[in-house]
Structure 1
C-alpha cells in the first residue's frame, strides 16, 4: 500500500472516529454476565480453543476476560504468535492500524524475554512480503499490575518508556486462558483507553 493511500485512509478514519468509537464502547455492554466457559474450554486443541474465542461477540470477549483467573506464576518467556480478535464496529480500523501503521509490516505477535529482574518485550512484524523474515520493534515493559479494565491483577504491557507518538499511549493487558494461550486487551489513550479495548490472542509452543 502506498504512503498516499495510507494517509488518505488515516484521514478518513479520523473524520468518522468519534462516532464509531462511541458505538464500539457501547458494544462492550453495560453489565458483565456469566459466560458459559464450556464454549471455550470444551475445545479439543489449542487452535480449536482460539477459533471458539473468535466466534464470541465483543461483549462475550469482555465477559471472558473478567472471568479469567489472575496470573500467579512467572510469565513464560519466548515467541508468541498473535491474532487480532475482530469484534466491534472499530475492528477494521484497529486492524488497519495494527497491520499497516503500528510497525514496519503486518503484525505477527510478540516476543517476551527477561533482563535482570524485568520482563522486556517486542512486537513481531513481517519483514518482507511472504513474511519469511520477522522484525522486532515497538518495545514494551511487561509487569504484573492491577488492570485498568477491572482492577484485578493482569500482566500489563507498558509502551510509554520506549516509544513516542501514538505508541507512547499504548497499554496492553494479558490474562492466561491456559498456560500457553493468553487473551490480550489492547488500549490506546487516543481511542478511549480502558473503556475501549481491542482484544487479541497470543499463543506459544513453550
Structure 2
C-alpha cells in the first residue's frame, strides 16, 4: 500500500502538469505584451512576472491542499494532522522550487546574464515560503476542525483515535492502568486489615 506522501506526490504531479502549462502560458503572455511595448527588460516586466509567480504559488498551494484533503478522506482517514501538514509543506517547498526553476529557465533562454540577474532580483522580492507554509497550515487546521465538527468528534474521541493510531501507547496505558488498579487494591486491602 502506498504511503500518504507517495500518493500525494503521485496525484499532485498529475495535477501540476496542467498548472505548468497555464503558468508557462501566463509568463509567455507577459513577455509578448512587454516586448510589444518595447519594455521587455524592465522592472515592469519583472513585476508582472512576479505577479504571475505569486498567482501560481497560490494556485499550487490550493492544489496541494485539495489533493491532501481528498487523499486523507479517501485513503488515509486516520492520518494525523501533523503528518498531513508535514507532507503538504514538503510538497509545497518542492513546488515553489519548481516554479522558481521554470522562471530561471525561461529567463536564461531569453536574456543575457546581466538582464537575467536584474529581472530575477525583482521577481524574487515576494513573500517567502514561510508565509505560504503558514497559510497552508491554517487551511489544514480549518479542514481538521470542520472534519471533527462534522463527524461529531469530541476531545475524548480524538484522544481515543490518537491512542488507536499508536498501539504502543495503548499497551503502555493499559499496563499503567493495571498497575494503578493493583496498587489501589493492595492499599485498600491493607486498610481493611488494619481496621479489622
TM-score, normalised relative to structure 2: 0.25
**Structure ranking higher on relative contact order (CA contacts 8 Å, 6+ apart):** 2
1 or 2, which has the higher strand percentage? 1
TM-score, normalised relative to structure 1: 0.24
1 or 2, which has the higher helix percentage? 2
